[in-house]
Amino acid sequence: MTGHTADALRDFTRRYLESWEQQRGHGPESEALYGVPSPCIVSSGDAVVRWRPQPFTLAKNLDAVGRALEIRINEQVVALYTSQFAGDMDAEFMGRPIALLQTWSEADFTRVQENLIGHLVMQRRLKQTPTLFVATTASELEIIAVDNLTGAVVLEKLGTSIRQPLAGDLPQFLAALRPAI
């Protein structure tokens, strides 16, 4: 499943980059990432940074997350976060605006792992099955996550057990995404 997820991410990333080129005449840019160091930076100025994905240079695992909670992390999520360094990518899933989360740099990868640990600790306290977030939504109360046990992608209402199935697995979810520029 790791290879399928990495392939699906590469395909979505290609479509995302092509959309930027077609609509704006250049690669992705971000105001939010301006001034934040990353190997992805192509240029910066006027309070924006232009970027291109770069190869992931760290060990391809989320072992720190697994060790902290004594669980095995779903390989799809490992592949999503360790295939490349990139900025978060705006997309639509079945008409719903989302931001596909990525790691921007080595330092950001550490932050993502810490946030995953915090999310899983909260779920453990609430006696919920573990999920790992992979995208944000327009609502601060909802995230898109992978069920760590089944691998299904769900829309999760934070702090509750409400989870709406979205896709059978992460590659299927990524294939259904449409770039939003």
Residue 43 resides in a domain: no
pLDDT for 2: 58
Residue 123 resides in a domain: yes
99-120 mean pLDDT: 97
Residue 112 resides in a domain: yes
- Secondary structure (3-state) at 110: helix
Residue 147 resides in a domain: yes
Tell me the CB-side half-sphere exposure of residue 85, using CA atoms within 13 A.
22
Antiparallel, parallel or unpaired: β 48-51 and 29-30: antiparallel
pLDDT for 3: 77
Written as six digits, the tokens of 149 are 């046990």
Number of domains in the chain: 1
Residue 35 resides in a domain: no
- Separation of first and last alpha carbons in the chain: 29
Residue 18 resides in a domain: yes
Position 98 pLDDT exceeds 60: yes
Which has the closest alpha carbon to 165: 177, 147, 153?
A: 153
146-156 pLDDT tens trace = 999 999 999 99
pLDDT band at residue 1 under the 50/70/90 scheme: low
Higher pLDDT, 17 or 3: 17
Residue 156 resides in a domain: yes
**Does the pTM of the predicted model rise above 0.85?**
yes
Q: Could you say which DSSP state residue 150 is in? A: T
The boundaries of the domain holding residue 173 are: 2-25+54-179
- State the CATH number of the domain containing residue 17: 3.40.1580.20
155-181 mean pLDDT: 96
Q: How far is CA 9 from CA 4, 37, 181, in A?
A: 9, 23, 17
Residue 47 resides in a domain: no
